[in-house]
Amino acid sequence: MRELGIGLIGTGFMGRAHALAFRNVSAVFELPLNLKLAALADADPQRARHCADAWGFDTAHSDWKQLINDPKVNLVAITTPNHLHYPMAMAALAAGKPVYCEKPLAVNLEQASAMRLAAKAAGVVTRVGYNYQHNPIISLARDLIQSGALGQIISFQGEFSEDFMADPVSTWSWRCDADYAGGALADLGSHLLAMARHLLGDVEAVCADTQTVHVQRPVTSGGQEQREVAVDDQVHALLRFANGARGTFSSSWLKHGYKNHLSFEISGTRGTLAFDQERLNELRLYRAGQGGFQRLLAGPDLPGYAAFSPAPGHQLGYNELKTLEVHELVMALAGLGQDGTDFERAWEVERLATAIRLAAQESRWVRIEEV
């Protein structure tokens, strides 16, 4: 088997999740490539060395450019704050290396467009970390929709809310700077927009409202100095899908009590389907005339699930979804699949998010083709 050298940039929560996925995927799947944890990069050289040793990477770099230029690295995985996605991905693509980048693709559509074009020019595999789409129960949801089990789709109601910014005195961070991040819309909402497109297809037009509730946050915990928040805390939008369905979309990082509330209800002329990421191993399905919602549990009959568990209802988790995403990536690198979110599809998500911002700024319906 051909060896694939993995280069990982970033050692935070997402860096660890990627490292686990790269280590686990070979244990649960028969792969066409032999994965080698070649190099890891972090700006802190001591942390880079520590994480490389702990996670099984051969080499530690304190400069991400050294990792991209490392001849042992064949795939560059980017798990840094959002504003670094663009320069790192562009450098990797210029070096002719495939890129696996966390979401959102970039901090603005201009950057995302450049990344999309560079990926086309490089002709390499790209993927973006929308791992929730790789949930086996989401595959079931998509199959039910496409098979016509719900009839003609007429309605989408989606929400992604968490409460990690709910405390008004929580400290200012890079997530509050528009040059570094994109607020609740980018941080959370991009997952939901990607999911809506994955399940129902293109959105044609949007109307939206965004709000920054806490316009300042303390620079340090308990400190008096305040710094302006330049991104949205919450966003609400109306969606018109190309298939004729209408939808609602909302995202907030201020909603007390919610930890990972990516949820949707999709209704058609023959039934309704409901999902909540906080219960990620089940769907609720209502078929017209059958009296009540049916609870569908994930099990080994769904693609991907049996690799982790032979029994239904035994539950997959976040890191298993990441492993499923990496499996799809490896198969694509071997020329055996094209099911993931590449830079082209991720650009469509960024384009939709940009249309939502424009609609909120100008208080009008915006057609996606305008953006």
Model pLDDT, residue 35:
98
Go through 169-183 and write b for each residue having 16 or more CB atoms within 10 A of its CB, e for each that does not: eeebeebbbeebbbb
10-residue averages of pLDDT along the chain (371 residues): 93 98 97 97 98 98 98 98 98 98 98 98 98 98 98 98 97 96 96 98 98 97 94 98 98 98 98 98 96 96 96 96 98 92 98 98 98 96
pLDDT of residue 339: 86
Containing H/E element for 286? strand 282-287
pLDDT of residue 359: 98
Residue of 198, 267, 204 whose CA lies nearest to 241:
204
Angle of helix 45-55 versus helix 13-28 axis, rounded to 10: 20
Look up residue 133 and give its two tokens. Answer: 């789409």
Question: Residue 364 in contact with residue 355, Cβ under 8 Å?
Answer: no
Q: How far, in Å, CA of 200 to CA of 217, rounded?
A: 38
- pLDDT value of residue 261: 98
Q: For residue 318, what are the contacts with CB-CB under 8 A and spacing of at least 6?
A: 17, 131
Distance CA(163)–CA(260), nearest Å, equals: 9
For residue 121, give both structure tokens. 């020019």
Query: Distance from first CA to last CA of the chain, Å, rounded?
Result: 44
Q: Give the rounded distance of the alpha carbon of 33 from its chain centre.
A: 25
36 strand-pairing partners = 5
| Structural domains present in the chain | 2-131 (3.40.50.720), 135-314+341-370 (3.30.360.10)
User: Are the CB atoms for 281 and 137 separated by under 8 Å?
Assistant: yes
Characterize the bridge pairing of strands 99-101 and 126-128.
parallel
| Residue reference for tokens 């208080």 | 363
DSSP, collapsed to helix, strand or coil, labels residue 126 as strand
Query: Does the pTM exceed 0.85?
Result: yes
HSE at residue 319, side-chain half, CA atoms within 13 A, is 14
